[in-house]
Structure 1
Amino acid sequence: MASLSGAKRIVVKIGSALLVDRVAGTLRDEWLHALAEDVAMLKARGADVVLVSSGSIALGRGALGLGQGALALEQSQAAAAVGQIRLARAYEDCLAPHGITTGQVLVTLEDSADRRRYLNSRATLETLLSLGVVPIVNENDTIATDEIRFGDNDRLAAQVAVTVGADVTVLLSDVDGFYTANPAQDPTAHRFDLIEEITPEIEAMAGDAGSGLSKGGMKTKLMAAKTATGAGCALAITEGSKLRPLKALEDGAPATWFRPKGDPQAARKRWIASMKPQGFVSIDEGAVAALRRGKSLLPAGVTNVTGDFGRGDPVAILGPNGEGLGAGLVRYTGAEARLIQGCRSGDIEAILGYPGRAALIHRDDMAT
């Protein structure tokens, strides 16, 4: 069974009901500071941590005195604008004493649906993690409308896990796992410790037991588990209201684990390799040798570019004799790639007139 102990990159989803007192609309400071101890524990052993946190609307509505009833869209967006500042400051205040730097990342569904924006998000998150930062990710409720919403941060957490190549995702919930039925209504319901595969029978057991401050139920958690495990990431559902819930999970607290299909890197490479190429990039022997050492493809090693492709599109990589070497998601358009082919990365800005990324195709976006 998967666990936190050996995980190198972990995504943790925190719901509004855990973070914000439902009646007072204020932050649960003791709980958040205890969670910070868990994050510090994981970071100390060398793991990367991403927190996907709800709470901006719940905090904002409390600050604005909007009460507990349903909010109009514009009221939700206003509450998010006020609450997001408080949420970011709270995470900074509780993690800074542990020597941990935080960064705020606000996204919408379009950021994952559009390949170019997806690659930009991936590059930003990867850079933050490489610098030791703990990104605090939330849906951009200030501008998001229904048609561009993830709808629930369970789904967002799974998508973030796919984006950063996490090996474990933890959904901190108000229940301690996935049950055969709603345990509050059916005394015979029992919890699954491990789910190997999400079958139609498993899906039929999911209900819509959301709390007053959260949007999701077990259906959204199963959707998240499908997304995460399909990308090689294990997922756990566990009860999160106790202090230090991640340490409790590691120590054997009740939970349901969903087994991943393969590992994140292999799943991503299969996804890239399955795409239809929108163009071709030919490279020289030096670049071939660099790719075999696991390096990114730089413009200097490119000898020819064919196709009218856009940023983020899949392209085939060809060797000096036209042999297929693999595929990758390109960081420049076809026109841009032709202008910088054969050039050093330091010359890109002078050629294009604006700064560009050093790699034409990053190694993480390549299947060879």
Structure 2
Amino acid sequence: MYTYKKRIVVKVGTSVMANRDNRIMLSALTKLVDQISKLYEDDIMTVLVSSGSVNAGKEVLGDVITEDKSQRRQIFSAIGQPRLMRHYYTLFQNNGMRCAQVLGTKRDFNPGEHRTNMINCYEGLMSEGVIPIANEDDAVSVSHSMFSDNDELASLIAEMIQADMLIILTDIDGFYTGHPNDDNSKLIREITVDQEVEHYIAKSDKGEASGRGGMKSKLKVAKNAAAKGIPTYIANGKRDRVILDIVEGKDVGTKVTA
């Protein structure tokens, strides 16, 4: 049975994984997997919450004749999820590691048998030294069963497994006092759950290229997680060693604390 010193949850957004043509970049996935592998060597277990299945599906199909927005998302995700997992499986295997896919809907986190089954699944995988890779089950998750975005999914998993840390990776360095491209904007290094910074969002939020989440969502999720005792970081996933630097306590991104 694998034993570890810490367990962390890392959420990677589509904007980190995809290029300007919205195609998944293997180089980005490789950097991500290499960092998780290094943490594993240091007895730190990572649960990876990965976006990108819809983009991966579009790479295969191009476009579809279906006009219904929800059905298009289901089709792209159903095609793209195994393609995305094949990339992860190969990359982790190259590092001598194993990974597993865990899909879920919002209903699975409600108190009861579904939640218990989810907990048992994650605990079982981690005890065997297998990296769980989580994503919303877009193929069946519609309307009320949908997460607001994968940021919310990551926070629910972090709470469920009692993670020591939650890291949300996007394509900017953290939470700013204005638009990230504005020379007058400043990166906020630390935010507390009761600190009023929401007024900055209208000026700073640029969203994610192909995802549903923006900085408003990330701040809400980070504050909720921090309020439950899980320090949360919002950082630039395109930065080299960003996960390792955060775990090592370096001054990276925006930290949200209770």
TM-score (norm 2): 0.90
Q: Which residue of 2 aligns with 1:50?
A: 47
1:311-322 → structure 2 map (5 Å cutoff): none
- Identity over aligned pairs, percent: 34
**Which residue is equivalent to 1:279?**
none
The answer for the alignment partner of 2:136 in structure 1 is: 139
Q: How does 1:279-358 map to 2 (within 5 A)?
A: none
Deviation at 1:253, TM superposition (A): 5.8
Distance, in Å, in 2 between the alignment partners of 1:243 and 1:88 is 23
Whichever residue aligns with residue 204 of structure 1, its letter is H
2:175 counterpart of 1:191 = no
Task: Return the match for 1:177 from 161, 174, 178.
Answer: 174
Q: What amino acid is aligned across from residue 10 of structure 1 in structure 2? A: I
Q: Is it true that 1:221 corresponds to 2:201 in the alignment? A: no
How far is the alpha carbon of 1:53 from its aligned partner?
0.3
The DSSP-based 3-state class of the residue aligned with 2:58 is: helix
Contact kept in structure 2, 1:7 and 1:167, CA below 8 Å: no
Distance in 1, Cα, partners of 2:17 & 2:68: 19
Query: CA shift at 1:148, angstroms?
Result: 1.2
From the superposition, tell whether residues 19 and 120 of structure 1 become closer, same or farther in structure 2 (CA, over 3 Å): same
CA distance in 2, matches of 1:108, 1:258: 26
1:285-313 deviation line (CA, Å, top 9, x unaligned) = xxxxxxxxxxxxxxxxxxxxxxxxxxxxx
1:237 matches 2:234: yes
Asked if the contact 1:35–1:243 (Cα under 8 Å) also holds between the matched residues in 2, the reply is no
Residue 254 in structure 1 maps to residue 249 in structure 2:
no
- How many residues are aligned here? 250
2:10 maps to what in 1?
12
Aligned residue type for 1:202: V
Task: Name the counterpart of 2:69.
Answer: 72
Are the equivalent residues in 1 in contact too, given 2:235–2:252 (CA < 8 A)?
yes
When the two chains are superposed, the root-mean-square deviation of aligned CA atoms in Å is 2.1
1:105-124 matches, within 5 Å, as 105-124=102-121
Match of 1:151?
A: 148
Paired residues of 2:5 and 2:43 also in contact (CA < 8 A): no
Report the Cα offset of residue 22 of structure 1: 3.7
TM-score normalised per structure 1:
0.64
Q: AA paired with 1:196?
A: T
Aligned partners of 1:203, 1:221: CA distance in 2, in Å? 11
- What is the CA deviation profile of residues 262-281 of structure 1, one whole-angstrom value per residue up to 9, with x for unaligned ones? xxxxxxxxxxxxxxxxxxxx
Shift of 1:35: 1.4
Given residue 102 of structure 1, which amino acid in structure 2 is its aligned partner? C
Please give the secondary structure, in 2, of the residue aligned with 1:206.
Answer: helix
Give 2:200's aligned amino acid: M
C-alpha separation in 1, matches of 2:114 and 2:177: 39
1:206 aligns to what?
Answer: 201
Q: Deviations over 1:173-196 (max 9, x none)?
A: 111111122223x43221111112
- Is the CA contact 1:180–1:205 (under 8 Å) kept in the aligned structure 2? yes
| Aligned partner letter, 2:93 | A
Further displaced range: 163-172 or 70-79: 70-79
The equivalent of 1:29 in structure 2 is: 26
User: What's the secondary structure of 2:188's corresponding residue?
Assistant: coil
**Structure 1, gaps ≥5 residues long:** 1-5, 262-368
For the residues of structure 2 that align with 1:172 and 1:198, how far apart are their CA atoms?
Answer: 23
Of 164, 187, 204, which residue of structure 1 is paired with 2:161?
164
Measure the CA separation in 1 of the matches of 2:194 and 2:84.
34
Q: Judging changes above 3 Å, is the alpha-carbon distance between structure 1 residues 152 and 57 closer, same or farther for their aligned structure 2 residues?
A: same
Contact in 2 for aligned 1:105/1:137 (Cα 8 Å) = yes
Larger relative contact order (CA 8 Å, sep ≥ 6): 2
| Structure 2, gaps ≥5 residues long | none
Per-residue deviation, 1:7: 6.8
1:88 shift after superposition: 0.8
Task: Find the aligned partners of 2:249 and 2:165 in 1 and give their Cα distance.
Answer: 16
